[in-house]
């Protein structure tokens, strides 16, 4: 059975280690669209950071729960206040995953927001916003 979690794959010629480093620099790619503010860290297991955007329309707090150098980064959302939704905590306990794999001379980065599925209210707007941020990330991975 295939998953319905929002997923996007980016193909790059950069090495896995470089891709890993770019992802960990959250401020470098998860910004530039909606007056984002990011506070905290995402370097070591247990690190937490908050993300806010759109003048308070989106607030979430993430904790780094998986870190495999050059292979995988996973955050769990520990707090969520998406004021544009009826259920403002839709992101709570969802996971944001980045998996890095090799395919010949290319590196594949697979992003999955586990729990961001079509049946929830945020899916349309949030998947569109993720696509914009992932396009930012893809630019850095060229």
Query: What domains does the chain contain, in order, with CATH numbers?
Result: 6-140 (3.30.530.20)
| Residues 10-38, mean pLDDT to the nearest whole number | 96
| Residues 31-36, mean pLDDT to the nearest whole number | 94
pLDDT of residue 2: 60
Closest CA to 70 of 43, 41, 101, 93: 101
3-state helix, strand, coil in the chain (%, to 5): 25, 40, 35
pLDDT of residue 114: 98
Quickly state the pLDDT bin for 28 (edges 50, 70, 90). Answer: very high
């Amino acid at each position: 059975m295939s998953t319905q979690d929002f997923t996007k794959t980016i193909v790059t010629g950069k090495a896995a280690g470089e891709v890993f480093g770019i992802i960990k620099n959250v401020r470098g790619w998860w910004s530039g669209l909606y007056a984002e503010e990011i506070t905290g860290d995402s370097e070591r297991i247990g690190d937490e950071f908050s993300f806010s955007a759109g003048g308070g329309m989106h607030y979430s707090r993430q904790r780094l729960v998986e870190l495999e150098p050059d292979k995988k980064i996973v955050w769990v959302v520990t707090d969520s206040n998406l004021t544009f939704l009826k259920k403002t905590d839709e992101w709570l306990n969802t996971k944001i995953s980045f998996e890095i794999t090799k395919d010949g001379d290319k590196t594949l980065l697979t992003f999955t927001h586990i729990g961001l599925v079509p049946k929830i209210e945020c899916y349309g707007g949030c998947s569109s916003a993720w696509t914009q941020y992932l396009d930012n990330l893809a630019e850095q991975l060229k």
